[in-house]
Amino acid sequence: MSQDDLIHGLHAVQAAVRYEPAGVVEAWVERRRRDGRMQRLRRQLQGLGCPVHEVERRELDRLTGSDAHQGVAIRYRGPPPRGDDELAQLLDGLARAPFLLVLDQVQDPHNLGACLRTAEGAGVDAVITPRDRAAGLTPAVHKVAAGAAETLPLFQVTNLARALRDLRERGIWLVGAADTAAASLYDTDLTGSLALVLGAEENGLRRLTREACDQLVAIPMAGRVESLNVSVAAGVMLYEAVRQRAAAVQRRVQG
């Protein structure tokens, strides 16, 4: 993310105010919007001590380049990207089996935002992407993620293949998504320490990423399309893992 970026939309702004209040530098609020939700957000923004500008809707349209701002925008200065060292620290501190999502060169910010939102809902501990040729935490990502970008750690690693090898050395099972894989997602054990690995929108997993995986699986497709959008595929795979992990816990409790 650049030093300062504009974030707009109620969910994204509320998340920034709640989880990263020190990053809110300046705010613009639609003057004529006086509903209870906006009034509460006004008070929260004013409580941060940052300038809050009351403007007409057309000024917000001009500022954000969109009419979908929902009456509020902020200038946001986020923390620097987390990298390899911070990822190691998070994994060292986990008291349970890690549950991770790895995205190989996903460049569309809307797809990254959707993946973050789904991963946060599924209880993922972290999302890992390469530092280069991949979307970062842009305003578009924040807006689509609807708060998940502030609560779910995103790590941008220098060398993804090396990071995957490090995960394997920690005993984390790497399951990659590949349309041509012989194994079905639904026949694969997704319990225990797990990282699900998905590729870019056009080309899927790169060769070194595929080779780093312990297993490749396919999502069964009953129709004529050959593959799913990466954010949809992430949702399917993550929630199959959630289902299996919940069932495993239930079996342990009953046993």
Same fold, 5-76 and 84-254: no
Residue range 166-185, pLDDT digits in tens: 999 999 999 999 998 999 99
Question: In this structure, what are the phi and psi dihedrals at residue 48, rounded to the nearest 5 degrees?
Answer: -80, -15
What amino acid occupies position 174? Answer: L
Three-class SS state of 138: coil
Residue range 211-233, pLDDT digits in tens: 999 999 999 988 877 778 999 99
The pTM assigned to this predicted structure is 0.79
Q: Which residues are annotated as a binding site for S-adenosyl-L-methionine?
A: 199, 219, 228
How confident is the prediction for the chain on average, in pLDDT?
A: 91
pLDDT at site 162: 95
Residue range 142-175, pLDDT digits in tens: 778 877 887 899 999 999 999 999 999 999 999 9
What is 84-254's CATH number? 3.40.1280.10
Strand ranges in the chain using DSSP code E only, listed in sequence order:
5-8, 24-30, 52-55, 72-76, 99-103, 126-130, 154-157, 173-177, 183-184, 194-198, 215-218
On whether the CB atoms of residues 166 and 128 are closer than 8 A, the answer is no
Three-class SS state of 141: helix
Mean of pLDDT values over 16-21? 83
Q: Which residues are annotated as a binding site?
A: 199, 219, 228
* Domain map (residue ranges) of the chain: 5-76, 84-254
pLDDT at site 210: 95
CATH for the 5-76 domain, from 3.40.50.300, 3.30.1330.30, 2.30.42.10, 3.20.20.10: 3.30.1330.30
On whether the CB atoms of residues 6 and 140 are closer than 8 A, the answer is no
Crossing angle of helices 36-47 and 10-19, rounded to 10°: 30
Residue range 70-112, pLDDT digits in tens: 999 999 887 777 999 999 999 999 999 999 999 999 999 899 9
Mean of pLDDT values over 231-254? 93
Question: In this structure, what are the phi and psi dihedrals at residue 143, rounded to the nearest 5 degrees?
Answer: -65, -45
